[in-house]
Amino acid sequence: MNPEVLLSRIRVVLCRPSHPGNIGAVARAMKTMGLSNLYLVSPKQFPDPEADTRATGAVDLLQRAKVTNSLADALAGSTYAVALSARQRDLGPVIGQPRETVARLLAEAEFAEVALVFGNETVGLTNEEILHCQAAVTIPTNPEFSSLNLGSAVQVLCHECRMAAFSGKPPAAAQGVTPFISPAATQDEVEGLIGHMESVMTETGFFNPAQPGRLMPKLRRLFGRARLEQDEVNILRGILASTQVKTGHGRKG
C-alpha cells in the first residue's frame, strides 16, 4: 500500500495532556513524519495560543484535532491501538520494542485505522487506558535518565512509523555508492598514477627500489580503496609532476 496512505491511517491519541505547548510540539512532530490525525482526550487546555506557537507550520493538525471525553471515544472506528508505556502493567499487554511494534501497527493499518496512545506528561496512562490497547511499546532509553518529553516520544515513534512505511523502498543513496563527479578512473589510469608516484619517491630518495618493503602494496591498497575518479588521478599526477619540475626530474621536452 502507498506509504502516505498507511501513515494517514495512524491516529495519535494524547490522554489528558497538561501543557498546551506539548500538544503543539506533538502536532509538529507528527506532521514532519506525514501523520495527520490528532486526538485529544480531555486536554487540560485546548485550543490555546501556546499550542499554536509550538506547532509552527502544523496548526492545521490542531484545527482538525478531535477532542473526546474518553480514550474509548478516541479509538472508535480503529482496530488496533499501541500504548506508550515505560513499565509493564499488571494485565496490560506485553511491552514490545519500537521496531517490531510499529511493524505490526503498520500491518494492521493495511486494513483499517490504528492508533498510537500516549499518557499524561506526569502520570502516563492509567491501567484502565492501557487495557484499551492491544499492544504496548517502550522507547529504550538510558536507565539513569529516561526523561523523554511528550513531543520527543511522539517524534521518535512517528519517525519509526515513517521508516517502516517507506522500508522496502531503499533509496539509491543507501547503496553506499559515492556518485562520481567525473568518470571513474580506469585500472590503467590508476596504474599510471602509482607508477608516477613510485618514480617521484625514487627520485627523492623516499623509496629505495632495492629495499622496497611494503610501501608500494600499501599505496596500492589505499588507492584501490578510494575508487579514484579520472579528475582525481589528474590532480594527483599534476601535483607529482609539479614537484618533478622543481627537482629537475620532470619531462624535459
Binding residues for a copy of itself (CB under 8 A): 28-29, 31-34, 56-58, 91, 93-100, 139-142, 145-149, 151-152, 155-156, 159, 162-163, 166, 170-171, 173-174, 176-179, 181, 197, 200-201, 203-206, 215, 218-219, 221-222, 225-228, 231-232, 235, 238-239, 242-243, 245-247
Could you tell me if 90 and 61 are in contact, meaning their C-beta atoms sit under 8 angstroms apart? no
Between 205 and 253, name the residue whose CB sits nearer to a copy of itself. Answer: 205
Task: Compute φ and ψ for 92, nearest 5 degrees.
Answer: -70, 165
Q: Is 232 exposed, middle or buried (0-12, 13-18, 19+ CB in 10 A)?
A: buried
Closer to a copy of itself by Cβ: residue 66 or 99 = 99
| Shortest Å distance, C-beta 232 to a copy of itself | 5
Min separation Cβ 224 and a copy of itself, Å: 10
Phi (first) and psi of residue 181, to 5 degrees: -85, -45
**Residue 41 or 153: which CB sits closer to a copy of itself?**
153
* In the complex, least distance from residue 68 CB atom to a copy of itself, rounded to whole angstroms: 25
**Least distance (Å) between residue 42 CB and a copy of itself:** 26
Considering the complex, state which of residue 90 and residue 188 has its C-beta at the smaller distance from a copy of itself: 90
